Amino acid sequence: MMYHKIPDETVRRLPIYLRGLMVSADQGHEHISSQALADFVGVQSWQIRKDFSYFGDFGTRGVGYPIGKLAREIRRILRLDVIRRAALVGVGDLGSALLAYPGFGGYGLEIVAAFDIDPEKVGRLINGIRVEDSSQVDTLGERGISLAIVAVPRTEAQSTIDRLAEAGVRGILNFAPCKVAVPGRVKVITLDIAMELARLPYYMPAEGSSEHPPGGQQELAAGSIVT
C-alpha cells in the first residue's frame, strides 16, 4: 500500500466503523468481513474496503479484518488512543442530559468538569460532577482540559467560546445554533439539533401527491460546521 492522505469523507466515516467494530467485538467476534461490517453500519462494502485501504493493509483475504487491531488503528488515527477529558459549559436541560450521557466513554472521552453562570446551579452535584461558576473556565488550561462542550443559549455562545479559547481549549463541540469565530488553533464542530430535524421533511415522501424531487439515496452528510 502506498501512503495516502486520508480523505475527509473517510475520516467522517471512521467513527461509524469504530462504533460497529465495538459492537461486533462485544458479540465475541475476532474478525469481520467488509460485507458483514457493511450490513451492520449501513455503508457499502467496497466503500469500507477503499476507506481502510487508505491507511494500510489490515485485512486477510478470505478471512476479513481483525477487529481488535483495526479498532486500535482507527482510534490512533482519530487520536482517541488517549483518554481525553472534556468540560461542559451550560448546565441547562441539554447540558444536564449530556452530563448523564453514557456514550462518550466508548470513544475514550469523559466529561470531568461542568460550568454554569446561574448561582442556583453552581455547587450542585450532577452525575458526580460539581458545577462550577463560569468564571472558573479560565482554570481549564492548568487542569489540562483541552476539549469542551458548549450548551449555552445562542447569545452567550460567542463569548463563552472566546473564553474557552483563551483558556487553552483546542476543540469545541458547540450546540448553539450559530456560527462562531475562533482563532486558528481551535476547532469547532457546531451541532444544531433543530437544523437536523429541519432537513427531514425534504426527504420524506409526499403525503398526498408525489411531485417531489428527492431520490432514493441512502447516505447523506449532515450539517455540522468545523472551523
Partner DNA sequence: CCATGTGAAGGTATTCACAGCC
Partner DNA sequence: GGCTGTGAATACCTTCACATGG
173 binds a copy of itself (CB under 8 A): yes
At 51, the amino acid letter reads D
Only one of the segments 44-52, 62-70, 133-141, 171-179 lies at the binding site for a copy of itself (rule: CB under 8 A); that segment is 171-179
187 binds a copy of itself (CB under 8 A): yes
Site string for DNA, 171-210 (x = CB under 7 A): ----------------------------------------
**Residue 27: CB minimum distance to DNA, A:** 17
**Residue 2: CB minimum distance to DNA, A:** 6
33 binds DNA (CB under 7 A): yes
- φ/ψ of 132, rounded to 5, equals -105, 160
Site for a copy of itself in 13-72 (CB under 8 A): 13, 15-16, 18-20, 23, 40-42
Which H helix or E strand runs over 61? none
Instruction: Say if CB 147 and CB 169 are below 8 A apart.
Output: yes
195 binds a copy of itself (CB under 8 A): yes
Only one of the segments 58-66, 99-107, 113-121, 130-138 lies at the binding site for a copy of itself (rule: CB under 8 A); that segment is 99-107
- 178-184: list long-range contacts, CB under 8 Å, 24+ apart: 178/154, 179/225, 179/227, 180/227, 181/227, 182/227
Give the other-Cβ count within 10 Å of 106's Cβ: 13
